[in-house]
Amino acid sequence: MLDKKSISVLKAMHKLALGSAYKVVTTDEIMAILSQKSQYDNDSLKEIISFLEKQEYINIKFSEDNTYCYSILPKGSICVEQADTNSKSNKSKNIKILPYLYVAISSFIGTILALVLFFLLIP
């Protein structure tokens, strides 16, 4: 299983290589797509890319300094699709809770108003 950093690097590489068998990119291009740039430097990015290759998520044809020629393997594409599906399902769970929250808040406010009116009209 991949951690969040590895998944975000894999997503960025998948986005760059979309529609091509092999893609030549630099680490700067990958870091430009990553949203959390402060967490990544060239050394950590190299480690993550080599880990992704060892786990057979990507295939690196050659690498020189900060330049990589790679392709996304089927296992990597499946992982990216699953990560996208999981993030969409988490968002939909939050959306399903909102109507219940609105009902709870409005019923609480209604009860408070009813009690205030009741005690103001009785004296």
List of domains in the chain: 4-75 (1.10.10.10)
The model's confidence at residue 90, banded by pLDDT at 50, 70 and 90, is: low
The model's confidence at residue 110, banded by pLDDT at 50, 70 and 90, is: very high
The owner of tokens 């990119």 is 25
25 close to 67: Cβ distance less than 8 angstroms: yes
In whole angstroms, what separates CA 28 from the centre of its chain?
20
Higher pLDDT, 66 or 92: 66
Give this prediction's pTM: 0.66
